[in-house]
Amino acid sequence: MDRKDKQILAELQGDVRKTTAEIADAVGLSVSPCARRIKLLESEGVIDGYQVKLNRQKLGLMMTFFVNVSLSNHRDQAINEFENAVECMHEVISCHVISGQYDYLLEVVSKDLQHYEGFMRKLQTLNMVKDINTNLAIRSVKQGTPLPVT
């Protein structure tokens, strides 16, 4: 991946709706070579997909929680069941396997505490869950920023 590819990626991260012609102009290429580079970045998996950034507050998702979860055992079946359950929980917008005291860190969005309580009840009913610790985000300083392409 060369400097032009990185410039293309930065342009796409800045505004996914840009046309190939706009991207080509911004990075100093003609449209055809720019389009070929984008297709190659897609086929190589560097571009993993395209998304629209939505405003959480305008969607009524006023609260963000960071939830640490420990499992009662670490057998493959328990891990797979937990991860499959989390995949089906639409409130969970990210899930990370972590090191330290807990096994997972979940980022959860909710419109209010009542809906979060409903989510917690679903999480607590999973028999492989041993411990849950929740932190409420007061305010976001930085989120959803583009990946550094250097």
Residues spanned by the domain of 28: 3-43
Map tokens 């009662």 to a residue.
72
Model confidence at 14: pLDDT above 80: yes
Q: Is residue 104 classed as helix, strand or coil in its secondary structure?
A: strand
How much is the average pLDDT of 18-47? Answer: 97
> Do 108 and 71 fall within a single domain?
yes
Long-range contacts of 138-146 (CB under 8 A, 24+ apart): 140/64, 144/53, 146/10, 146/13, 146/14
Within-domain flag for 146:
no
Model confidence at 150: pLDDT above 80: no
Indicate which CATH number applies to the domain containing 64: 3.30.70.920
> Do 63 and 99 fall within a single domain?
yes
| pTM score above 0.75 | yes
> Do 32 and 75 fall within a single domain?
no
| Each residue's pLDDT tens digit, 69-101 | 999 999 999 999 999 999 999 999 999 999 999
How much is the average pLDDT of 120-131? Answer: 97
